[in-house]
Structure 1
Amino acid sequence: MRITSIQPELIREIPFLNAGRGPGGFYRDSLPVHRGFVDALPDGMSAIIATADLQGRETFESAGGKPLRLLGEVLPAILADEIIPNLGVGNGRIGVLLAGDFYTVPALDKRGGSGDVTSVWQAFADEFDWIVGVAGNHDLLGDAATRPRFTDPVHFLDNDTVTVDELPIAGLSGIPGDPRRPWRRTEDDFVEALELLLSESPALVVMHDGPDVPEFGFRGSPRMREAIESSEPTLIVRGHAHWKEPLATLSNGTQSLNVDARVVILTSQTS
């Protein structure tokens, strides 16, 4: 599966509240929703949704006086009810790729807080046909940074692979760092795990962190890029570091789709 284009015009911008630094520091922000086209989707599929780093909460208007839900809790219904029906993609299956970091503290007074994001995964599972994803470095699943006990059609990946709709998808949670901290492994261990996953020639690799693209100034890991460029071409879906543009191609033909603080809906070119 190869991305042929990302439309320059946004489908929509979804308002949300972003956390500030200290009490009352939150501010209104918007989540861009992009449409991309791929050369082909598996038979019976109409779209794949990819997103990461939804570190915000719904607006006061949306909450209607109730506690503010995580952005990732309210987003799936907006996509399913208001956005996808207008894309003309038919009634095929829709899959979701989650690349991590979906928590924001309830008071919106701290950036980078960690907490339970199980409700976000469940919200996507309530609306769509399958979910494949990884943990970000701020995600807990339950009350700990440990592998959750999700069941089919929800697939959590960390240094393993699953095949859904005939797509072999590899996943690597977390970021390089101090292994004593949640969802971190040393850079050597991270790159080694990535190389082993790539050796299986997956169609997709979902990661929280990912490669850099120095010629465009896109942030990421040089060592991951080197490992990826030494392997067969694939499609990387990543978050963690925001890029001005969502898509870049590495020297070996691998495409890296950056979905940090954005949503990309991939449909076939013929939709």
Structure 2
Amino acid sequence: MRIIGRDVEPVTEIAYRRARSGGGTETARLTVGRLAVGQLPTGCDAVLVTGDLQGVTPSPWGGPPVLLGVALGDYLSVWAEQELIPPPARLAVVLAGDLYCAPTADRRGASGEVADVWWALASVGCRLIVGVAGNHDVVASDQLAELGPAAALLDGDWIDHGGVRFAGVGNIVGDPRRPGRRSEQSQLARLGAALTGRPSVLVLHEGPPGEHIDQPGNPVIGAHLREHPPTLTVCGHVHWEAPLARLGAGHVLNVDGRAILLTPQPD
């Protein structure tokens, strides 16, 4: 899944509520874009990559606000009917973590259960759902077991689908006494285990820095990945205005607060 496009082309967006810095809540927009890649998993017409969906909004079917990731799952079938995206049955989804928001969207850094996001994506028929836990997510593999082999919460391991190997590591480097954090040594051990599978796509919550000063990340992770860079590293946790950077012969794609459809190069 080598990226060959240079720019993310806008497709659509979702308005949602999120916690405002300094207190209270504010309206934001989840942008959905399109970026060309050279290969997709067999049986897929696109791969949707997203992360840091820390907001709430009503489903397109109405009702009270739900987690933004749950609403995103509901929107997939709407957008498919509008021919904006492929049908969910031809769509793989990659989740880079931090999918929780306080129900009132007025408290930054809230942590909570996010299995509902995975179930929402499965319920619309997505062909594959792989991802990692962010430092604000509460989710475990046993909560997703009934979704079958098409759903994989990764943490130092990998899954093959349609000729593409996806590996992943959740959480961030930090004080292991706090939720969603590991010591640097432990996190690098998980990362090393994931990389032994030589994945084409590596999914992280906390990723490496990019090429520019406004593309922050963990430099230790960056140094570790430069030894054997995957074709594509997907991450979030911190926001990049420009979502794409080179990493050796591969790329880093930052999906903090955005959703990007990886699609074949147009004719």
* Shared fold (TM-score, shorter chain, > 0.5): yes
Spell out structure 1 runs of 4+ moving beyond 3 A: 6-9, 61-64, 87-92, 146-149
1:148 equivalent among 123, 142, 167: 142
Q: Deviations over 1:197-225 (max 9, x none)?
A: 22321111111110012534311011111
C-alpha spacing 1:132/1:233, structure 2 compared with 1 (3 Å): closer
Aligned length: 263
Alignment correspondent of 1:254: 250
User: Which is richer in strand?
Assistant: 2
Alignment correspondent of 1:160: 157
Secondary structure of residue in 1 paired with 2:69: helix
Structure 1 vs Structure 2 CA RMSD: 2.3
Is 1:208 aligned with 2:202?
A: no
Alignment correspondent of 1:38: 37
- Report the alpha carbon displacement of residue 162 of structure 1 after superposing the two structures with TM: 1.1
Give the percent of matched residue pairs that are identical in Structure 1 and Structure 2: 38
- Report the alpha carbon displacement of residue 67 of structure 1 after superposing the two structures with TM: 3.1
Contact 2:11-2:32 within 8 A present in 1 as well: yes
Question: What are the ranges of 5 or more consecutive residues in structure 1 without an aligned counterpart?
Answer: none
The 2-side partners of 1:84 and 1:266 are apart by 19
C-alpha spacing 1:62/1:268, structure 2 compared with 1 (3 Å): closer
Contact 1:201-1:232 within 8 A present in 2 as well: no
2:129 equivalent among 128, 131, 137: 131
Kindly report which structure 2 residues correspond to 1:92-241, keeping only aligned pairs within 5 A, or say none. 93-127=90-124, 128-141=126-139, 146-150=140-144, 151-241=148-238
The 1-side partners of 2:94 and 2:228 are apart by 22
The 2-side partners of 1:185 and 1:19 are apart by 26
The 2-side partners of 1:75 and 1:88 are apart by 13
The 2-side partners of 1:91 and 1:157 are apart by 21
The 2-side partners of 1:214 and 1:232 are apart by 14
- Report the alpha carbon displacement of residue 85 of structure 1 after superposing the two structures with TM: 4.9
When the two structures are superposed, what TM-score results if normalisation uses the length of structure 1? 0.89
C-alpha spacing 1:71/1:90, structure 2 compared with 1 (3 Å): closer
- Report the alpha carbon displacement of residue 22 of structure 1 after superposing the two structures with TM: 7.4
Q: Deviations over 1:79-110 (max 9, x none)?
A: 23225852475887211000100111112221
Which residue identity lines up with residue 219 of structure 1 in the other structure? P
Question: What are the ranges of 5 or more consecutive residues in structure 2 without an aligned counterpart?
Answer: none
The 2-side partners of 1:52 and 1:209 are apart by 11
